[in-house]
Amino acid sequence: MTQTVSLSSISIVLVKTSHPGNVGSVARAMKTMGLTDLRLVEPKDPLVCQHEEALALSSGAQDVLGAARVFASLPDALDDVNLSYALSARLRELGPVLQNPVQAAAEGLSRLSEGHGVAFVFGAERTGLSNEELLLCNRQVYIPGNPEYNSLNLAQAVQIVSYALRQQWLNNAENNVEIRYPEKVGGKAAVRATGKAVTDLRDHWVKTMEAVDFINPKKPKKLIERLTRMLARVELEREEVDMLRGFLSDVNRVAEGRLYPHEAERSKNSLDDC
């Protein structure tokens, strides 16, 4: 899949939404995942985007809210859209092809990269999407939650879809460069320890356990195997190996009754003074 696409080209369409707070929360859910195109079809309050509650709940996404467009009907909102996904938890006998959010995100982004207009359509809080609205769409997306209670809040449903889209988008290595994990923010990527460094650490650790009589070298039981397995599982970084080896050296030093080099020097000097 060629994915030099922008998530901001994907439209989120809310049909007949009644709670201003939900519209604000939707804007926030979208912006956190990189989506920006919000379309409102017949909102209960046509000025909902200026509503105090919508503004408050949109938080840092007031730009998305401010740029939202209002449409008189669903076909109007889908005028430039070639592939539309209707979000609904209600399964109908004669509904559109059914997908989950992950499948829909994969297909939607693929179509977007081919130049198609793609939209995800969400129903009103109380009534959801009507049969007619559902059938205007090409696919039905069902979020497979708890079968005993699977009716998500509108903004949370938008969040799940937006997240699925973003994960799919990030699968493309070119887009992935923008992820900033904490270790990258510091500007210093962690260096993993080599297998040899980890084996040397393990041997040092075993030697120390013997030095403090934690294990009997003649009968180590399963301890060494467990330790080896644990160290392999953790995927240690080079600095972590250095830190642990420094600690083990000190334990050994204390166990053998040796002093730190600078302490040894100091006590030698004080003996000289006598």
Binding residues for ligand SAH (CB under 6 A): 87-90, 122-123, 125-126, 128-129, 141-143, 145, 150-152, 154, 157
224, 214 Cβ separation under 8 angstroms: no
Nearest residue (CB) to ligand SAH, 26 versus 112: 26
Nearest residue (CB) to ligand SAH, 95 versus 220: 95
Separation between Cα atoms, residue 16 and residue 200, nearest integer Å: 66
Q: Which tokens go with 232?
A: 């392999």
154, 17 Cβ separation under 8 angstroms: yes
Q: For residue 151, count other CB atoms closer than 10 A to its CB.
A: 13
**Min dist. Cβ of residue 159 to ligand SAH (A):** 11
**Min dist. Cβ of residue 4 to ligand SAH (A):** 29
For ligand SAH, the nearest residue by Cβ is: 128
Look at residues 160, 169, 8 and name the one whose alpha carbon lies nearest to residue 89.
160
**Min dist. Cβ of residue 125 to ligand SAH (A):** 5
Nearest residue (CB) to ligand SAH, 100 versus 194: 100
Backbone angles phi, psi at 98, to 5 degrees: -95, 135
**Min dist. Cβ of residue 93 to ligand SAH (A):** 16
Separation between Cα atoms, residue 162 and residue 155, nearest integer Å: 10
Nearest residue (CB) to ligand SAH, 142 versus 169: 142
**Min dist. Cβ of residue 3 to ligand SAH (A):** 25
Tokens 């642990």 correspond to 244
Nearest residue (CB) to ligand SAH, 21 versus 123: 123
Separation between Cα atoms, residue 48 and residue 66, nearest integer Å: 10
